[in-house]
Amino acid sequence: MSFSTDSTHIFEQAIADYHKTDNVDATLVNPFSPDSINGILYVKNWIDTVQWHLEDIVRQPDINPIEGLAIKRRIDKSNQDRTDLVEAIDSYFLHQYKNVTPQANATINTESPAWAIDRLSILALKIYHMRIESKRKDADETHKALCQQKLEILLEQQKDLSSAIDQLLADIASGRKFMKVYKQMKMYNDPSLNPMLYGNNKK
Protein backbone atom coordinates (compact mmCIF):
# COMPACT_ATOMS: atom_id res chain seq x y z
CA MET A 1 0.00 0.00 0.00
CA SER A 2 1.33 3.48 -0.85
CA PHE A 3 2.18 6.16 1.70
CA SER A 4 -0.66 8.38 0.49
CA THR A 5 -3.18 5.53 0.81
CA ASP A 6 -1.96 4.71 4.32
CA SER A 7 -2.16 8.39 5.25
CA THR A 8 -5.70 8.76 3.92
CA HIS A 9 -6.85 5.72 5.91
CA ILE A 10 -5.35 7.22 9.08
CA PHE A 11 -6.98 10.59 8.35
CA GLU A 12 -10.34 8.92 7.82
CA GLN A 13 -9.94 7.03 11.09
CA ALA A 14 -9.14 10.24 12.99
CA ILE A 15 -12.16 12.00 11.45
CA ALA A 16 -14.46 9.09 12.33
CA ASP A 17 -13.07 8.93 15.88
CA TYR A 18 -13.61 12.68 16.37
CA HIS A 19 -17.21 12.47 15.18
CA LYS A 20 -18.04 9.82 17.76
CA THR A 21 -18.49 12.78 20.12
CA ASP A 22 -18.30 15.72 17.67
CA ASN A 23 -16.90 17.83 20.49
CA VAL A 24 -13.98 20.23 20.05
CA ASP A 25 -12.99 19.56 23.66
CA ALA A 26 -12.97 15.77 23.31
CA THR A 27 -9.87 13.97 24.57
CA LEU A 28 -7.51 12.78 21.85
CA VAL A 29 -6.79 9.06 22.22
CA ASN A 30 -4.09 8.12 19.73
CA PRO A 31 -4.43 4.46 18.63
CA PHE A 32 -0.86 4.51 17.33
CA SER A 33 2.49 4.97 19.02
CA PRO A 34 2.81 8.76 19.44
CA ASP A 35 6.38 8.79 18.11
CA SER A 36 5.58 6.72 15.01
CA ILE A 37 4.75 8.31 11.67
CA ASN A 38 1.23 6.86 11.92
CA GLY A 39 0.82 8.45 15.33
CA ILE A 40 2.00 11.81 14.04
CA LEU A 41 -0.37 11.61 11.04
CA TYR A 42 -3.29 10.74 13.33
CA VAL A 43 -2.64 13.71 15.65
CA LYS A 44 -2.15 15.98 12.64
CA ASN A 45 -5.58 15.16 11.28
CA TRP A 46 -7.23 15.27 14.71
CA ILE A 47 -5.97 18.84 15.13
CA ASP A 48 -7.17 19.68 11.61
CA THR A 49 -10.60 18.23 12.44
CA VAL A 50 -10.95 20.15 15.70
CA GLN A 51 -9.89 23.34 13.95
CA TRP A 52 -12.40 22.72 11.15
CA HIS A 53 -15.18 22.79 13.74
CA LEU A 54 -13.71 25.74 15.62
CA GLU A 55 -13.77 27.68 12.33
CA ASP A 56 -17.50 26.81 12.03
CA ILE A 57 -18.24 27.86 15.61
CA VAL A 58 -16.44 31.20 15.40
CA ARG A 59 -18.51 32.16 12.34
CA GLN A 60 -21.82 32.06 14.20
CA PRO A 61 -23.43 35.50 13.59
CA ASP A 62 -24.54 35.86 17.21
CA ILE A 63 -21.40 34.60 18.91
CA ASN A 64 -20.35 36.43 22.04
CA PRO A 65 -17.32 38.61 21.11
CA ILE A 66 -15.34 37.45 24.13
CA GLU A 67 -16.00 33.82 23.27
CA GLY A 68 -15.15 34.53 19.63
CA LEU A 69 -11.80 36.06 20.58
CA ALA A 70 -10.98 33.08 22.78
CA ILE A 71 -11.74 30.71 19.90
CA LYS A 72 -9.69 32.83 17.48
CA ARG A 73 -6.70 32.56 19.82
CA ARG A 74 -7.29 28.83 20.11
CA ILE A 75 -7.24 28.62 16.30
CA ASP A 76 -3.96 30.56 16.23
CA LYS A 77 -2.40 28.03 18.60
CA SER A 78 -3.86 25.19 16.55
CA ASN A 79 -2.21 26.60 13.42
CA GLN A 80 1.14 26.61 15.19
CA ASP A 81 0.60 23.02 16.36
CA ARG A 82 -0.27 21.99 12.80
CA THR A 83 2.90 23.61 11.48
CA ASP A 84 5.00 21.85 14.10
CA LEU A 85 3.52 18.49 13.09
CA VAL A 86 4.11 19.13 9.38
CA GLU A 87 7.73 19.82 10.21
CA ALA A 88 7.84 16.58 12.23
CA ILE A 89 6.56 14.69 9.18
CA ASP A 90 9.26 16.26 7.02
CA SER A 91 11.85 15.29 9.63
CA TYR A 92 10.64 11.71 9.24
CA PHE A 93 11.21 11.87 5.47
CA LEU A 94 14.61 13.52 5.86
CA HIS A 95 15.63 10.60 8.07
CA GLN A 96 14.12 8.05 5.65
CA TYR A 97 16.10 9.37 2.71
CA LYS A 98 19.26 10.57 4.45
CA ASN A 99 21.41 7.97 2.66
CA VAL A 100 20.09 8.74 -0.82
CA THR A 101 22.61 10.48 -3.07
CA PRO A 102 20.80 12.89 -5.41
CA GLN A 103 21.52 12.48 -9.09
CA ALA A 104 23.58 15.19 -10.78
CA ASN A 105 20.49 16.60 -12.48
CA ALA A 106 18.18 16.18 -9.44
CA THR A 107 15.68 18.97 -8.86
CA ILE A 108 13.84 20.30 -5.85
CA ASN A 109 10.04 20.20 -5.57
CA THR A 110 7.93 23.32 -5.09
CA GLU A 111 6.82 22.03 -1.68
CA SER A 112 8.06 19.41 0.74
CA PRO A 113 6.27 16.04 1.03
CA ALA A 114 4.76 16.96 4.39
CA TRP A 115 3.06 20.11 3.10
CA ALA A 116 1.48 18.05 0.32
CA ILE A 117 0.33 15.56 2.96
CA ASP A 118 -1.10 18.50 4.94
CA ARG A 119 -3.31 19.24 1.94
CA LEU A 120 -4.28 15.57 1.77
CA SER A 121 -5.45 15.75 5.39
CA ILE A 122 -7.62 18.79 4.68
CA LEU A 123 -9.01 17.09 1.58
CA ALA A 124 -10.13 14.13 3.70
CA LEU A 125 -12.09 16.57 5.87
CA LYS A 126 -13.64 18.32 2.87
CA ILE A 127 -14.72 14.97 1.43
CA TYR A 128 -16.23 13.83 4.73
CA HIS A 129 -18.30 16.98 5.18
CA MET A 130 -19.25 17.38 1.52
CA ARG A 131 -20.54 13.80 1.51
CA ILE A 132 -22.77 14.69 4.47
CA GLU A 133 -24.05 17.79 2.67
CA SER A 134 -24.82 15.75 -0.46
CA LYS A 135 -27.17 13.54 1.60
CA ARG A 136 -28.60 16.08 4.03
CA LYS A 137 -32.25 15.28 4.68
CA ASP A 138 -33.29 18.86 5.43
CA ALA A 139 -31.70 20.25 2.22
CA ASP A 140 -33.41 20.58 -1.15
CA GLU A 141 -32.46 18.53 -4.21
CA THR A 142 -30.59 21.43 -5.83
CA HIS A 143 -28.32 21.76 -2.81
CA LYS A 144 -27.67 18.02 -2.67
CA ALA A 145 -26.96 17.77 -6.40
CA LEU A 146 -24.51 20.68 -6.25
CA CYS A 147 -22.74 19.14 -3.27
CA GLN A 148 -22.56 15.79 -5.07
CA GLN A 149 -20.83 17.52 -8.00
CA LYS A 150 -18.37 19.16 -5.61
CA LEU A 151 -17.78 15.82 -3.90
CA GLU A 152 -16.85 14.18 -7.18
CA ILE A 153 -14.33 16.95 -7.86
CA LEU A 154 -12.85 16.58 -4.38
CA LEU A 155 -12.49 12.82 -4.86
CA GLU A 156 -10.71 13.39 -8.18
CA GLN A 157 -8.46 15.94 -6.49
CA GLN A 158 -7.68 13.42 -3.74
CA LYS A 159 -6.73 10.81 -6.33
CA ASP A 160 -4.47 13.26 -8.21
CA LEU A 161 -2.81 14.60 -5.08
CA SER A 162 -2.21 11.09 -3.76
CA SER A 163 -0.57 10.10 -7.04
CA ALA A 164 1.61 13.23 -6.98
CA ILE A 165 2.73 12.58 -3.38
CA ASP A 166 3.67 8.98 -4.11
CA GLN A 167 5.54 10.04 -7.25
CA LEU A 168 7.42 12.72 -5.30
CA LEU A 169 8.46 10.18 -2.66
CA ALA A 170 9.57 7.75 -5.36
CA ASP A 171 11.60 10.50 -7.03
CA ILE A 172 13.29 11.40 -3.74
CA ALA A 173 14.02 7.75 -2.98
CA SER A 174 15.64 7.31 -6.41
CA GLY A 175 17.60 10.58 -6.28
CA ARG A 176 15.69 12.23 -9.11
CA LYS A 177 14.56 14.89 -6.64
CA PHE A 178 16.01 16.04 -3.34
CA MET A 179 14.48 17.40 -0.17
CA LYS A 180 15.28 20.80 1.24
CA VAL A 181 13.10 21.88 4.13
CA TYR A 182 12.64 25.46 5.30
CA LYS A 183 11.12 26.02 8.74
CA GLN A 184 8.02 28.18 8.60
CA MET A 185 9.36 30.85 10.98
CA LYS A 186 5.91 32.22 11.78
CA MET A 187 6.31 35.66 13.30
CA TYR A 188 2.92 36.56 14.73
CA ASN A 189 3.10 33.98 17.57
CA ASP A 190 6.65 34.92 18.56
CA PRO A 191 6.76 37.59 21.30
CA SER A 192 10.23 38.61 20.12
CA LEU A 193 9.12 39.18 16.49
CA ASN A 194 5.55 40.53 16.69
CA PRO A 195 5.73 44.30 17.42
CA MET A 196 2.27 44.16 19.02
CA LEU A 197 3.74 41.76 21.58
CA TYR A 198 7.27 43.01 22.17
CA GLY A 199 6.06 46.61 22.05
CA ASN A 200 3.62 45.93 24.86
CA ASN A 201 6.35 44.26 26.89
CA LYS A 202 8.22 47.56 27.03
CA LYS A 203 5.29 49.40 28.61
80: containing domain? 3-186
Answer yes or no: is pLDDT of 191 > 80.
Answer: no
In whole angstroms, give the CA distance from residue 150 to residue 94: 35
pTM of the model: 0.91
- 48 pLDDT higher than 70: yes
Confirm whether 48 is domain-assigned.
yes
- pLDDT band (50, 70, 90) for residue 202: low
Residue at 197 is within a domain: no
Environment class of 169 (CB within 10 Å of its CB; exposed 0-12, middle 13-18, buried 19+) = buried
The answer to whether position 153 is within a domain reads yes
With a pLDDT cut of 90, the percent of the chain lying above it is 87
pLDDT, residue 101, reads 96
194: in domain:
no
**Does the residue 147 lie in any domain?**
yes
Count of domains for the chain: 1
Please indicate whether residue 191 or residue 71 has the higher confidence score (pLDDT): 71
pLDDT attached to residue 183: 72
Question: In this predicted model, what pLDDT tens digit does every residue of 76-129 receive, in sequence order?
Answer: 999 999 999 999 999 999 999 999 999 999 999 999 999 999 999 999 999 999
* Residue 179, domain member (yes or no): yes
Residue 187 scores a pLDDT above 90: no
pLDDT class of 195 with cuts at 50, 70, 90 = confident
- Give a yes or no: residue 85 inside a domain: yes
User: How many residues are recorded in the chain?
Assistant: 203
pLDDT of residue 171: 97
Q: What is the pLDDT of residue 200?
A: 66
Helical segments of the chain, H only = 3-18, 37-58, 65-96, 113-134, 141-174, 195-201
Per-residue pLDDT of 166-181, as tens digits, reads 999 999 999 999 998 8
3-state helix/strand/coil string of 149-160: HHHHHHHHHHHH
Does a structural domain hold residue 202? Answer: no
User: What is the distance between the alpha carbons of residues 130 and 145, in angstroms, rounded to a whole number?
Assistant: 11
Residue type, 10: I
User: What whole-number distance in Å separates Cα of residue 4 and Cα of residue 162?
Assistant: 5
